[in-house]
Chains A and B, each alone.
Chain A
């Protein structure tokens, strides 16, 4: 079992790829949604779990990636080769701006500054004509690249799965690299890292921009799937939800981010289904809130903590 452990994520990806053709449209759609949220959660895990930077404005980069995709595809539609780098680039550019300023603060001030910058971006899309105001905008034609046409559900599934694998793979590499080791050091003891000779600010900024770009990737995929964007994507409760996902899954683990995204989305889906909880479904926010509190109280190390508690030696 231990030998198999490092390959578990890849195994899950292969199983998903094989299952895709037999999933019902409803389930397939749900899986795609969860996979996009997983990428979004992974991008925040880089900040919170790996670097120790608790950001409450991460939805801004997600939303900017999505808006950039829709705005740039115009009425003719656009190529993935152009739209994807553009979405990630715009999100990264805003992350560079926000990070450069917010990383001068720490702790609760950092949380507030990131929140403020995200709300700023939210109101730009909400209150101006840039992105169709509070109604958002529709995408006329979904992005394509040669034979890959995001109009098709099957293509959507595989593109999103490939993006998730790539994102996970990249972050797994980062974690074991010197860059990742430095980020871990910064998380544990920033003062000591500075004394050892690390330009801490530069490292944090690099992590912030990379996290922003990956959130932009999730935003691109969301826009390509939904074909519509609205300002709510950037709203603070979206930033809060993704933070809840990684806490629920277990901070400090890449798998935790994905498990959290799955658990949170499932929980939300189940608790708002009449067939499952009856009339309580109308009050899903309340039941979801209680469920989250129960989870956090009973599983302080997140869902992934259960696995660590069962096996003598924890997993990553």
Chain B
């Protein structure tokens, strides 16, 4: 089966510490692949390696068959690997629309064309509108991003990621700090997005993960101890003792 993003033997060492150890996984279109694990299990390091924010010490990352392990982060982003951040990293003083437009601009950069106004860039404006619509933020398009509610900022974080038109979405705790209603909206959005994207979801909200994930990988101390469908993971004895705790 062809996968969008394929990872084999990915390892990251920080001095003597092995933060991520020999991780292999495949992300498929139409699938939400959740990665769970305790704090310090290496989930964020994994996302950082996949997006190119930090280099891998060993291993291989391929995007639809192409080796991208050595590519710079910005190049990988243009190639279709989009990510969101655990801590909201929007441009607070720009409008919500400009936040998305700027992200969309990366694909149609033409920085030398200084006689053209950025705000009249048809390509990036259209993509930004589309991303805002998908994330349900159209109504707030002209507001300064910093004035949005926490939940809306998290939605914007996803919209900005979508504005780069990724094939693969790496989402680092998109539900962090969200209320029940906002969580529902976000989950609906993710379910809708998986039709056209391969999604890797790092999340602490176990109820949400078991509800929407199609596949779950469990990490402990940088190592994958189990991968499988939610039902299988729920009943995996090793996972229960290591992470979920008895009685979950």
Contacts and interface: CB of A to CB of B under 8 A. Distances in A.
A301 to B, nearest CB: 13
Interface string B73-108: 111011000110100011111100010011101110
B114 A180 contact: yes
A17 interface: no
Interface of A: 170, 173-174, 176-182, 184-185, 188-189, 191-200, 203, 206
Contacts of A184: 94
B53 interface: yes
Contacts of A173: 114-115
A176 B118 contact: yes
Contacts of A192: 85, 89-91, 103, 160
A179 B112 contact: yes
B211 interface: no
B245 interface: no
Contact of A178 (B51, B75, B90, B116): B116
Contact of B91 (A170, A179, A185, A203): A185
B45 interface: no
Nearest to B77: A197
Nearest to A188: B91
Contact of A197 (B115, B118, B164): B164
Interface in B105-162: 105-107, 109-119, 121, 124, 160
Contact of B106 (A170, A176, A191, A198): A198
Contacts of B115: 173, 177
B113 A178 contact: yes
Closest 10 CB pairs of A and B: A197-B106, A197-B77, A181-B118, A179-B111, A197-B78, A196-B103, A177-B114, A178-B118, A176-B117, A188-B91
Contacts of A170: 114
A184 B119 CA distance: 13
